[in-house]
Amino acid sequence: MIKLRLKRFGKKREASYRIVAMNNLSRRDGRPLEELGYYNPRTDEVRLDVPGIVKRLQQGAQPTDTVRRILQKQNVFEQVSAKPAS
């Protein structure tokens, strides 16, 4: 199963995260299938590849709880339901 989840990077105590599509059996910082965005919890900066995320969600990818909250704040799920499944 493909999951949309966070991949940690950055210095100690100054973590930032990439939002990635990965196989659910892969380790947290393993090689992703695709990088779809960026999240910095210290400044609440979020950059998303919305078309890529929408495509992955339509293919059946499941976001983790944290990623789901980030996507809801950015109104990504409204775009998923608006576009027809291919």
- Segment 65-82 mean pLDDT: 89
Cβ contact 66:74 at 8 Å? no
What percent of the chain lies above the pLDDT cut of 70? 95
- Average pLDDT, rounded, for the chain: 90
Alpha helices by DSSP H, listed for the chain, are 50-58, 65-73, 76-82
- Section 44-63 average pLDDT: 93
CB under 8 Å, gap of 24 or more: what pairs does 77-81 form?
79/50, 79/54, 80/54
Q: Thinking of the domain 1-79, which architecture would CATH place it in?
A: 2-Layer Sandwich (3.30)
